[in-house]
Amino acid sequence: MPLPTQLIQFLASVHPYDSLPDAALDDLAQVAQAEDFSKGDTIFAVGEKVRNLYVIAEGEIEITDETGVQLSILGPRNSFGERALLRGDAASRTATVQAPARMISIPAATFFDLIETHAPVARFFDRRRPERAGGNDVATLPVERLMTRDPVTCTPDTPIRDAARQMHERHISSICVNDEGAFRGIVTLRDLNGRVIVGGADAAGPVSDIMTEAPLALSPKALVTDVLHLMVERGIGHVPIVEDKTLLGIVTQTDLTRAQAMSSADIVGSVAKAADAGEMARATAQIPKLLVQLVETGNRHEVVTRLITDIADTATRRLLALAESKLGPAPVPYLWLACGSQGRQEQTGVSDQDNCLILSDDVTDADLPYFTDLAKFVSDGLDRCGYFYCPGDMMATNPRWCQPLRVWRDYFEGWIAKPDPEAQMLASVMFDLRPIGGDESLFEGLQTETLKAAARNSIFTAHMISNSLKHQPPLGLLRGLATIRSGEHRNQLDLKHNGVVPVVDLGRVYTLQGQLPQVNTRARIEAAIAAGAVSKSGGADLLDAYDLIATMRLEHQAAQIKAGEPPSNYLDPSDLSDFERSHLRDAFVVVKTMQSAVGSGKGAIG
């Protein structure tokens, strides 16, 4: 029998069915069924085949995962069952009636017909964040798409005169140096002018006498923007593209001149040349405008946050250079590292500073005042540039986080050996460390040793997993979303602590379990999938969920900036459409499912 008139009218008010033509809605009403259920009834359970898509007209449905953990309570206007239908798998969740319910059940065949013939329905049930064409496409291109392939090369013993002749005849400004198939260095017109014509080097001598050995290089997966940022910050005009010591290509300023200029590189260039923190702050004040531009031109969230973080990295390195100009050379080698969102290359329009200093073990008590002054100079400068002081004092200005390498080793060993709550928190922060400026060799061994030690300690790993579950996605009764109950942000969602942070925490756990060196959250999940630390299907779902949450967060901040408001992480769900609320709820459900899988010790469910 066809659906009763009131249920047809109800369905016509629910997105995406409200987008169906009258004829299609009439056809749907002929095949859909009205079903009544009592409290305690199971609609389907984990492992069972799902044969219908369900739309709730009345009542409440509890969704639980395979371990029995509640994922959400669904009410009227919510759909469920599409996950198993689209994947063609048995159900990975159980749906149980919590309050007497009336539902509209749509047969699987009809559901697929709707997806194939009606674009709004297909878009609604595509849980991936839709790609948008970007107007700033060059910024997001991998350099392998722009580089000059098979650049002209020579060997280290090639006479300088012969190398110069090749450059002249081919009308090129550089020649790369290979030695037995491995990339060794580069000779540019600047080298010929400075080291032969002006410096007096013998033109009959080998190019190894004048080449720049082991120059700055990038991988083919780097962004075009990475090249431009490197050029403007370091004052170079040629960037070799190298993978596993093999030269694949080169990108020059001429290549970039043909490409579209990027405003993020303009800011990086201004910061890199700034004479003081005040001049730097005038450049970083353009970051909100940049964020809006990058979001509106359709760049992916991980590209937006990378470009914004690049500016913070450049500001830090410039401040370190200015500090050394003022204070003199450092008495011993040191390394400035970032943690938090800067460490993960995930900065948005709202960022404080989280950083620390690792000092050489040769440091003496007499040397420490130098690093106290250096840390204050840099942190004060970052604060002036809009990277505010860390409320938790997780900064190099805190003597606790400005220590010799041996002390840092003791820190990590202690946190792993005795994982109390403070140790869990500190270890979580410090697992996101990324070198910014200084002697990177001070960190290489520490990172490897720490990951191995942490992975071997099952008690520490268990505590880290427990700590990662403290931030829960905001799933509740109202359309599946639970808002903040009181205070300044009442009735809003915290897209940072209850949206992005749970995924960040999961990525960190996967890194620990797989001893993976990645720091960026998306890169961590991808590496975990490749290493088998998380299932392919579970990992893919988590990536889609993360992409949606992180993108919605950036879009919200961009909208606030355009409205003249300071960007924040708080979003009123009533500002979202039914479409957006449904997708956001589903993303939170995926995160909750993956948390449950990690917490139960069963790994990621497929």
**Can you give the pLDDT at residue 310?**
93
As given in the structure block, the two tokens for residue 63 are 């969704």
Report whether pLDDT(477) > 60. Answer: no
Instruction: Report the C-alpha gap between 356 and 400 in whole angstroms.
Output: 9
What residues contact 274, with CB distance under 8 A and at least 6 apart? 280, 283, 318
| Chain position carrying tokens 């975990």 | 528
Label the pairing between strands 212-213 and 334-338.
unpaired
Residue 412 is which amino acid?
Answer: F
Please write the tens of the pLDDT for every residue from 520-532. Answer: 999 999 999 999 8
Do 369 and 353 contact (CB within 8 A), yes or no? Answer: no
Cα separation of the two ends of the chain: 37
pLDDT of 78-106, one tens digit each?
888 988 888 887 888 899 999 999 999 99
pLDDT score of 66: 76
Q: Find the mean pLDDT for residues 560-589.
A: 88
Look at residues 97, 95, 79 and name the one whose alpha carbon lies nearest to residue 39.
97
- Take residue 261 and report the two structure tokens written for it: 């200029």
DSSP state at residue 436: E
The token pair at 516 is 């993976």
Q: Residue 288 above 80 pLDDT?
A: yes
What pLDDT, on a 0 to 100 scale, did the predictor assign at position 1? 61
Rg of the chain over all Cα atoms, to the nearest angstrom? 28
pTM of the full predicted structure? Answer: 0.72
- According to DSSP, residue 389 is labeled P
- What pLDDT shows up at residue 407? 96
Token pair in block for residue 595: 């948390």
Question: Cα(166)–Cα(470) distance, rounded to whole angstroms?
Answer: 63
Yes or no: say if 534 and 604 are a contact pair by the CB < 8 Å rule. yes
Q: How far apart are CA 508 and CA 513, in angstroms?
A: 9
Banded model confidence at residue 130, pLDDT cuts 50, 70, 90: very low
Q: Specify the higher pLDDT residue, 74 or 159.
A: 159
Helix/strand/coil percent split, the chain, to 5: 50, 15, 35
What is the share, in percent, of the chain residues with pLDDT greater than 90?
Answer: 55
Mean pLDDT along residues 497-513: 93
Does residue 186 register a pLDDT over 70?
A: yes
Do residues 177 and 231 make contact, with C-beta atoms less than 8 angstroms apart?
A: no
Give the Cα separation of 152 and 172 in Å (integer).
9
Q: What is the spatial distance between Cα 327 and Cα 321, in angstroms, rounded to a whole number? A: 10
Residues 6 or more apart whose Cβ sits within 8 Å of residue 499: 473, 474, 493, 549, 550, 552, 553, 569, 588
In the block, tokens 């400068």 appear at 381
Write the pLDDT tens digit of every residue in 311-361.
999 999 999 999 999 999 999 999 999 999 999 999 998 888 999 999 999
